[in-house]
């Protein structure tokens, strides 16, 4: 059996918690509004913030980005393959029985395709 004093206490606690939540929500909202005002004063928009307004600028920037990325991949792959080619030649010079013959055949085919102009 419940005591009569428990019901009003729990009801008053619920009312106090609701009031506390609404006060903290209002405080959070005030802090957020203050932060927005501070950011507006800083004027972070600046001249670069609206570059997306022009479709020509966006297209040009993306085109240049794609070109530079493509050249970067090509140069990086060329350097990496040259280093790998040199390492493979050094492995062949070690005269390893199975691996050396296999790599020698690969290097032979690569050199033949480079000298004959076959791509």
Residue 6's alpha-carbon distances to 16, 19, 24, in angstroms, are: 15, 20, 27
**Residue 7 predicted with pLDDT over 60:** no
**How remote is the C-alpha of 11 from its chain's centroid?**
51
Task: Round the average pLDDT of the chain to a whole number and report it.
Answer: 78
Cα gap 58→54, rounded to integer Å: 7
Mean pLDDT within 19-28 = 74
Is the pTM for the entire model greater than 0.75? no
Contact of 86 with 68, CB cutoff 8 Å: no
Residue 89's alpha-carbon distances to 8, 24, 79, 103, in angstroms, are: 89, 71, 16, 8
Mean pLDDT within 32-54 = 74
**Residue 52 predicted with pLDDT over 90:** no
- The CA-CA-CA angle for residues 116, 118, 119, to 5°, reads 145
pLDDT of residue 6: 47
Mean pLDDT within 14-29 = 71
**Residue 102 predicted with pLDDT over 70:** yes
The size of the chain, in residues, is 119
pLDDT of residue 5: 46
Cα gap 11→114, rounded to integer Å: 88
pLDDT of residue 111: 86
Mean pLDDT within 75-102 = 84
């Amino acid at each position: 059996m419940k005591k009569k004093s428990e019901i009003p206490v729990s009801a008053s606690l619920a009312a106090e918690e609701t009031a506390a939540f609404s006060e903290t929500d209002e405080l959070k909202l005030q802090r957020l509004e203050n932060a927005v005002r501070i950011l507006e004063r800083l004027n972070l928009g600046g001249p670069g913030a609206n570059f997306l307004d022009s479709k020509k600028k966006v297209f040009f920037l993306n085109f240049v980005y794609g070109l530079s990325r493509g050249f970067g991949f090509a140069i990086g792959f060329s350097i990496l393959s040259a280093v790998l080619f040199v390492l493979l030649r050094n492995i062949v010079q070690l005269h390893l029985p199975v691996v050396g013959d296999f790599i020698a055949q690969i290097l032979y085919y690569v050199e033949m395709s480079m000298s004959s102009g076959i791509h």
